[in-house]
Amino acid sequence: MIRLTAITRTFHMGDQAVYALNNINLHIASGEYVSIMGPSGSGKSTLLNIIGLLDKPDSGSYELDDRLITDLSETEQAQIRREKIGFVFQSFHLVPRLTAAENIELPLILSGMPSAQRQNLVNDALQAFELKERAHHRPAELSGGQRQRVAIARATIMHPSVILADEPTGNLDHQIGAEVMSLLENLHHTGTTLIVVTHDRELGSRAHRQIGMRDGKILTDQADDAH
Amino acid sequence: MTLTDTLQTSFKTVVSYRVRSLLIILAMALGVAAVVVLMALGDGARNYVINQFSSIGTNLLVVLPGRAETSGSFLGAVLGQTPRDLTLKDAQLLGRLPQVRRYAPLNVGAAELSAANRLREVSVLGSTANLIPIRHMKLAQGSFLAHGTERSAQIVLGAKIANEFFPRSQSIGQRVRLGDYRFLVSGVLASQGESMGFNTDEIVIIPIDYAQALFNTTSLFRILIEAKSHSEIESAKQAILATMRQSHDGEDDTTVITQDAILATFDRVLQALTLAVAGIAAISLIVAGILVMNVMLVSVNQRTSEIGLLKAIGATSTDIRRLFFAEAVWLSLAGAILGFLLGQFGSLMLRLAYPQLPAWAPAWASIAGILVALVTGVLASLIPASQAARLDAVKALGKK
Ligand SMILES: Nc1ncnc2c1ncn2[C@@H]1O[C@H](COP(=O)(O)OP(=O)(O)OP(=O)(O)O)[C@@H](O)[C@H]1O
Ligand SMILES: [Mg+2]
């Protein structure tokens, strides 16, 4: 469902060109659980941003569900982000002045869904992520784990086919991080494709397929048969 | 994103940035209020002056000796000719013109009035009975002709003078002395107070013949003429000028001023003044607009990572532009409405403080003030909104 062919992404710092992604070829099938690891600056986030349509490659082609993304208009890309992709970030990215419930509701509002219908879905999500009691709290009043649960609820409320998580446990302690990972893995069990960028070897090894990057290139790509 | 949701979301944002929003709303409101109050003040002053000036007569024309220098040649002045005087005969000629309803010759001067052991200097008008209706004066008692004809030695007293000289007794029928002449009081003017800088409560009116004798002159100061109708004012003016030219051997040495023309000039000047002042007030709205733009730009900057997030979860550039645009609409709308209310309140205070001033802002001025506020606010949001919409999602997300 995700097919990257000869993807290159270059950043220019003064006269210097930095190859964040250097001729990446990658195919990820629907329902896979993939972890991406590698040293800092190896291009992991850039890869995730391109898969998530937040960034555009300089060259190469990207097909998502057999559609050539590179040809789509800005509005069409926004629609795909809304309907097919869920982002989870290291720093949560919750809107500080909105409550947990309102943060979760945001993608539904953007999709133009009527209010009554939204409330049901938000209530279900609050229930599913054990946030009922925190529904009307603002992010500042929530713990790190709770914030990330709100972010995951928001990322999944539109039932996307791909979840992209960029170091989702980076700001959490080990135990809370493990809990958040198992929440994401539960989503994978329901058929969602899960792509996680992580520095943590132990967490990374839980994925069925582990990709190792360095200097904008994919060095290793191991499928774990045990799973 | 639906329109309702856009409006609702941006409304919540406006409410949650309370201090920032109140500041913008206040700046807008003060601008709108200034426009409304200054228009009320200007228009009130205009109406006040027009009313005052209208009240001195209807379809009034004033004939005075000499050529108004602004509209004629300077030949007379250059040749050292003095303009011919207006005479009672001229007045009678003009009175026979078909466009003229009535006329009153006028002499003005000052003399000493004495009676009942009192003595004071008074302004004296010499005229005929027609002066009273032409100048919209009212008599409280008696009449101009209570004792005989217009040629009898009789006098009409201003309200204040009657009260000063005869505080306890009936003024009518009393004898008074004005200069070297004795008069019988035939009427008392109703108190009208000051109008156009002329206080009719402190004058006396005597027949024109006595005034000319008193001031030792044969010429007239003015001839007041009331045209039969508003539409005949201009033709009356032409007829008067023609008549005077004929009687003055073809010389154009008379000036006719119409009340209508003076009213129109007053109206124009005061209207222009009002608009100028309101225009200056409107500049404060532009300042408010610049404030809105700055605050919105800061806000876009502060909310960069939020904008990045919105893009990541599927907001289009249009969604984001509309969200910021709607914020500006809410702020300007609130500012305009508050400003309108403040302006109305200010006008009310003006009317309470100066009851004779009809300080009502014209409806169009209020509407214009509100519209200018809305348009400035919305225009001011265009740049910040498109800046927000253009933000690069990845960079925006990376910003703390
Ligand atoms: N906006 C940018 N401008 C310039 N260079 C950039 C930009 N974004 C990324 N880079 C560069 O591209 C390379 C890859 O960056 P990327 O963020 O993908 O790394 P990463 O693997 O996610 O690292 P980390 O583990 O530290 O998050 C780095 O060398 C980085 O400096
Ligand atoms: Mg990264």
Give φ, ψ of B92 to 5 degrees: -65, -40
Bridge partners (DSSP) listed for residue B115: B118
Interface of B with A in 10-29 (CB under 8 A): 12-13, 16-17
pLDDT above 70 as % of chain B: 94
- pLDDT tens-digit profile of A82-99? 999 999 999 999 999 999
Check residue B69 and give its pLDDT: 54
d(CA B166, CA A9): 107
Q: Are A92 and A107 in contact (CB under 8 A)?
A: no
Closest CA relative to residue B319, chosen from A96, A122, A81, A67: A81
List the structure tokens of B151: 């040629």
Question: How many whole angstroms separate alpha carbon B142 and alpha carbon B121?
Answer: 23
The closest ligand to the CA of A213 turns out to be 1
- Residue A111 near chain B (CB below 8 Å): yes
pTM of the model: 0.77
What's the rounded Cα separation, in Å, for the pair B221 and B179? 19
Name the residue of chain A whose CA is nearest to B306's CA: A95
Beta strands A193-197 and A162-166: pairing type? parallel
Treating both helix axes as pointing N-terminal to C-terminal, what angle do B259-302 and B304-312 enclose, rounded to 10 degrees? 70
Predicted confidence at residue B281, as pLDDT, reads 81
Rounded Cα distance between A70 and A8, Å, is 13
Average pLDDT rounded to a whole number, residues A15-36: 94
Nearest to A109 among B5, B16, B393 (CB): B5
Residue nearest atom 5 in ligand 1 by C-alpha distance: A11
B95 within 8 A of B257, measured Cβ to Cβ: no
Using a CB-CB cut-off of 8 Å, the residues of chain B touching A83 are 314
- C-alpha distance from B16 to closest chain A C-alpha (Å): 7
Mean pLDDT, chain A, rounded, equals 93
Domain ranges of chain A: 32-53+83-223
Phi, psi of A165 (to 5 degrees): -120, 120
More confident residue, B171 or A6: A6
Q: Which of the ligands is closest to the CA of residue A55?
A: 1
* Bridge partner list, B100: B227
Cα–Cα distance measured from residue A45 to residue A167, given in angstroms and rounded to the nearest whole number: 9
Q: Report how far ligand 2's centroid is from the alpha carbon of A197 (Å).
A: 8
B86-90: long-range contacts, CB 8 A cutoff, minimum separation 24: B86/B219, B86/B220, B86/B221, B86/B222, B86/B223, B86/B254, B87/B218, B87/B219, B87/B220, B88/B208, B88/B212, B88/B218, B88/B220, B89/B247, B90/B63, B90/B220, B90/B223, B90/B243, B90/B244, B90/B247
**Tens of pLDDT, residues B280-326:** 887 888 888 888 888 889 989 999 999 999 999 999 999 999 999 99
* Cβ pair A184, A152 in contact under 8 A: yes
Burial class (CB in 10 A: 0-12, 13-18, 19+), A18: middle
CA A197 to ligand 1: nearest atom:
22
Give yes or no for a contact between B279 and A48, defined as CB atoms under 8 angstroms apart: no
- Nearest CB to B394 within list A49, A111, A158: A49
pLDDT the model gives residue B284: 82
Compute the distance between CA of residue B95 and CA of residue B290 in angstroms, rounded to an integer.
Answer: 64
Find the ligand nearest to A49 CA.
1
Measured CA to CA, the distance from residue B301 to residue B388 in angstroms comes to 8
Q: Do the chains contact at A93 and B309, CB–CB below 8 Å?
A: yes
Q: Which chain A residues touch B2 with a CB distance below 8 Å?
A: 112
Which of B195, B253, B237, B270 is CA-nearest to residue B59? B237
Computed on alpha carbons and rounded to an integer, the radius of gyration of chain B in Å comes to 34
Angle formed at CA B116 by CA B111 and CA B119, multiple of 5 degrees: 30
SS3 content of chain A, % helix, strand, coil (to 5): 40, 30, 35
Within chain B, what is the greatest distance between any pair of CA atoms?
Answer: 104
Contacts of A44 in chain B (CB under 8 A): none
Helices H / strands E in chain B, number of each: 13, 12
B395 Cα nearest atom in ligand 1: 1
Contact residues, B window 276-305, toward A, CB-based 8 Å cutoff: 305
Q: Are B285 and B368 in contact (CB under 8 A)?
A: no
The answer, for A74 touching chain B at a CB cutoff of 8 Å, is: yes
Q: Which amino acid is at B292?
A: V
- What fold characterizes domain A32-53+83-223? Rossmann fold (3.40.50)
C-alpha torsion angle, residues B312, B313, B318, B321 (rounded to 10): -70
User: Can you tell me the distance from the alpha carbon of B395 to that of A45, in angstroms, rounded to the nearest whole number?
Assistant: 12
pLDDT of residue B72: 46
- Is residue A192 within 8 Å of residue A161, measured between CB atoms? yes
Do the beta carbons of residue B21 and residue B327 sit within 8 Å?
A: no
Chain B residues lying within 8 Å of A79, measured CB to CB: 314, 316
pLDDT of res. A145: 93
Q: What is the pLDDT of residue A188?
A: 93
Of B2, B308, B314, the CB nearest to A82: B314
Q: Which atom of ligand 1 is nearest to the CA of A216?
A: 14
Shortest Cα distance from B304 to chain A (angstroms)? Answer: 11
A55 CB within 8 Å of a chain B CB: yes
Q: Who's near B237: CB < 8 A, 6+ residues apart?
A: B61, B256, B258
- Quote the tokens at residue A89: 């970030």
Interface contact flag, B5 A112, Cβ < 8 Å: yes
CB proximity A40 to B under 8 Å? no
User: What span, in angstroms and rounded, lies between the C-alpha atoms of B28 and B306?
Assistant: 27
Ranges of chain B with pLDDT below 70? 68-83, 146-148, 194-198, 400
| A44 pLDDT higher than 80 | yes
**B310 near A CB under 8 A:** yes
Chain B CB within 8 Å of residue A90 CB: no
CA distance B377 to chain A (A): 24
pLDDT digits (tens, 9 = 90+) for A108-167: 999 999 999 999 999 999 999 999 999 999 999 999 999 999 999 999 999 999 999 999
Strand partners, B111: B122
Residue with tokens 């003006």: B350
Report d(CA A104, CA A130) in Å as an integer: 13
Look at B291 and A37; give whichever has higher pLDDT: A37
Give the number of whichever ligand sits closest to the CA of residue B397: 1
Chain B interface includes A17 (CB < 8 A): no
From B32, B54, B49, B23, select the one nearest B347 (Cα to Cα): B32
Q: Ligand 1 centre from A20 Cα, in Å?
A: 6
Cα dihedral: A66, A71, A75, A80 (round 10): 20
Q: Separation of A214 CA from ligand 2 center, angstroms?
A: 12
Q: Which tokens sit at A122?
A: 């938000």
Name the maximum alpha-carbon separation found in chain A: 54
Decide: B296 and B385 in contact? Cβ < 8 Å: yes
